[in-house]
Amino acid sequence: MRRIARAVAAAVLLVPPLMAGGCGGGDKPRARPTPVMPSTTPPQPVPLTLDVAQKAFQTYITDEDVARAAADERLALTWTSDGQSLLTAAEFRKAAFDGDPVRRFTYGKPKLYVPKLKADAYPQWFVASVDRSVAGDKKSKESALMGFILRSPTDDWHLTLATELAPKARLPKIQTDPDGYAEPLGSDDSTVLIRPRDVGGIQATMAAEGAASVAAKVMETGPLTSGYYQQTKRAKKKAKEQDLTLTIVYTATPYPYFGLRTKGGGGLILYSLFRNNAVVGPGAPGPKPEIPKEAEHLLDGTVEGDEIDTTATFQFAAYDPPRAKKGKPQPKAELVADDGAISKAATPTLKKP
């Protein structure tokens, strides 16, 4: 990776004025030298090429393994950003809480999907599709989709999103040009059924409203869409039986999303969602909610008030089909990859009346 040296301003020598002689004949004061500040040359943008992406990917997996081998959370976070940073931090803390080593990964040969972008257009990004296994666990092999981003010429590449292909799902074939570059989709692309920027919102709507939602007209029902709605219903019912109130809301994130054109005119969209949970007890002298097992590593084991809030960060990939021609059946969008975990937790104190 390029490392940009930052210029250090030189100290300017201040020359005191010379005093004139008392009775004529003294030397004339000399002019002060004009201070010259060093100039800095801004780094030149480097075009994103297949070779640049390959080097960025290899650098990441090497640096990631060093951090995980050393159980160094701060170092690991150096190579991630956005939702991936939240999930990485949570993973390290869970390993420390359980007394287990942090997972290390072995990678196969990646297939890189690199869009042809303008050299001075930022952020730059690419997607890697690669087989990944947990070191020492032969049965853990999975197909991962990893989104990398470079936000400026002075920045380093970061892994911003990683998700896992569903066991029975097939990755759509990505459209590439004769030179091997992928075609990116704009956020408002209208040739696909759902505008890329709206795919996450459609999924969140189905999670909130279920199969009866109008969003089900453009996205397939399943465990990661209407299934979330059913999960919420069951969880709320169970909470009510324990005299607790549960609220679950799925929302979009401010993090980057990526769109790639697939063969046939569709798109592969990578994006993330938050799931915000709030479970509230009835107040004194009623029972306090129990800390969820999956959030224990993020809390200190006590509930001061009668509420527990958690946020999960989920990362997905969806196939977004092309808009069908008039009179032709319209396929729906479908989820092909997902991953995520609870990434934040809090137990607010009781509010004073």
pLDDT tens digits for 6-25? 333 333 333 333 333 333 44
pLDDT at 17: 36
Specify whether the CB–CB gap between 234 and 228 falls below 8 A: no
pLDDT at 94: 97
How many Å apart are CA 82 and CA 343, to the nearest integer? 12
Residue type (1 letter), 213: S
pLDDT at 32: 63
219: which DSSP letter? B
pLDDT at 299: 93
**Which residue shows structure tokens 């809301």?**
249
Specify whether the CB–CB gap between 136 and 107 falls below 8 A: no
pLDDT at 291: 92
How many Å apart are CA 338 and CA 316, to the nearest integer? 4
Helix (H) or strand (E) run with residue 317 in it: strand 307-320
How many Å apart are CA 207 and CA 248, to the nearest integer? 10
**Cβ neighbour number for residue 110 with a 10 Å cutoff:** 19
pLDDT at 162: 98
Cα dihedral sign, 76-135-163-211: negative
Residue 168, SS3 per DSSP: coil
For residue 89, pLDDT over 80 is answered with yes
Query: What DSSP line would sit under 230-297, residue for residue?
Result: HHHHHHHHHHHHTT-EEEEEEEE-SS--EEEEBTTS-EEEEEEEEEEEEEE---TTSPPPPPPGGGGG
Q: Per 3-state DSSP, what percentage of the chain is helix, strand, and coil (rounded to 5)?
A: 25, 30, 45
Cα dihedral sign, 128-130-135-139: positive
Identify any residues that bridge with 106 across adjacent strands, giving them in sequence order: 133
Each residue's pLDDT tens digit, 243-282? 999 999 999 999 999 999 999 999 999 999 999 999 999 8
Identify any residues that bridge with 162 across adjacent strands, giving them in sequence order: 146
Residue 162: how many CA atoms within 13 Å on its side-chain side? 20
Mean of pLDDT over the chain: 89
